[in-house]
């Protein structure tokens, strides 16, 4: 696979906002949490975007009562979520499979959330050669650990991988890892992510050769 003349041996992809159209749903959820629990933090939903749940809890939910509350709220919300694919994502993933290009999902979600996805989308897991969750790394985005772990799981040097992200924290993590960075303008305006990416596209199928678009 070639992007702007650069040969790519493997792909590292974020989940929410890149593969699944869930970021808007999460923004509404965390916006409500922010209004109810942190009225003095008006940008709460934006501030925590791309962080792991472990990090969010460590920063904002420090008592057992608060931890129990957010666990119950988030579990109920994720069970109701609509796990639809971002436009172009499945076409891109099918292309990678046909071409034999290894791909890892690199997400700030935990195993419990991913099990909900697999239950709703039984085909989802088969698209990926590896799945790296928040529980598989020590430091969350914007640190590069998840991308480094994903490249290692695929057995490809991270400098020969393309990382696809939509959030500023995720893009910073991808850039710090040394991967070639594609910014997907699905949840943030293109002008926000241009400084953080090597390439910016509106949809993943924009990366496909013309004769491979579905």
Out of 60, 80, 100, pick the residue that ends a domain: 80
Structural domain harbouring 42: 23-80
Q: Are residues 18 and 115 in the same domain?
A: yes
150 and 44 fall within a common domain: no
Global confidence as pTM? 0.84
Q: Bigger pLDDT: 210 or 2?
A: 2
pLDDT, tens only, 124-151: 999 999 999 999 998 888 999 999 999 9
Residues 28 and 98 grouped into a single domain: no
Domain boundary among 34, 63, 80: 80
Query: What pLDDT score does 211 carry?
Result: 62
* Residue-averaged pLDDT of the chain: 92
**What total of structural domains would you count in the chain?**
2
Is it the case that residue 59 has pLDDT exceeding 80? yes
Task: Reply yes or no on whether the pLDDT at 154 is more than 70.
Answer: yes
Q: Do 111 and 164 share a domain, yes or no?
A: yes
Chain segment 74-115, per-residue pLDDT in tens: 999 988 888 999 999 999 999 999 999 999 999 988 899 999
Residues 132, 179: one domain? yes
Residue 184 has pLDDT above 70, yes or no: yes
> Which CATH number is 186's domain given?
3.40.50.1000
DSSP characters over the chain: -EETTEE--EEEE-SBTTTBS-HHHHHHHHHHHHHHH-TT-TTHHHHTTT--HHHHHHHH--SHHHHHHHHHHHHHHHHH---PBPTTHHHHHHHHHHHT--EEEE-SS-HHHHHHHHHH-TTGGGG-SEEE-GGG-SS-TTSSHHHHHHHHHHTS-GGGEEEEE-SHHHHHHHHHHT-EEEEETTSS-HHHHGGG-SEEESSGGGGS-GGG--
Residues 39 and 134 in one domain: no
pLDDT band, residue 212 (cuts 50/70/90)? low
- Residues 145 and 200 reside in one and the same domain: yes
The confidence score (pLDDT) of residue 49 equals 78
Q: Are residues 52 and 150 located together in one domain of the fold? A: no
- At 181, the pLDDT band (50, 70, 90 cuts) reads very high
Last residue of a domain, one of 52, 80, 108: 80
Q: Does 170 share its domain with 185?
A: yes
pLDDT at 107: 94
* Pair (194, 97) in one structural domain: yes
Residues 138 and 96 in one domain: yes
User: How high is the pLDDT of residue 55?
Assistant: 85
């Amino acid at each position: 696979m070639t992007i702007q003349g650069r040969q790519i041996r493997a792909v590292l992809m974020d989940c929410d906002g890149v593969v699944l159209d869930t970021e808007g749903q999460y923004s509404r959820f965390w916006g409500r949490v922010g209004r109810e629990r942190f009225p003095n933090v008006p940008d709460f939903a934006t501030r925590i975007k791309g962080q792991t749940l472990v990090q969010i809890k460590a920063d904002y939910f420090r008592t057992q009562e608060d931890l129990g509350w957010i666990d119950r709220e988030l579990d109920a919300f994720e069970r109701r979520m609509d796990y639809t694919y971002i436009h172009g994502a499945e076409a891109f993933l099918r292309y990678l499979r046909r071409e034999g290009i290894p791909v890892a999902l690199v997400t700030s979600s935990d195993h419990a959330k991913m099990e909900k996805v697999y239950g709703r989308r039984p085909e989802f897991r088969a698209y990926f050669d590896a799945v790296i969750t928040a529980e598989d790394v020590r430091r969350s985005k914007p640190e590069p650990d998840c991308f480094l772990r994903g490249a290692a799981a695929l057995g490809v040097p991270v400098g020969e991988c393309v990382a696809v992200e939509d959030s500023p924290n995720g893009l910073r993590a991808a850039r710090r890892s040394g991967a070639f960075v594609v910014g997907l303008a699905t949840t943030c305006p293109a002008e926000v992510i241009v400084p953080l990416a090597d390439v910016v596209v509106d949809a993943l199928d924009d990366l496909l050769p013309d004769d491979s678009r579905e």
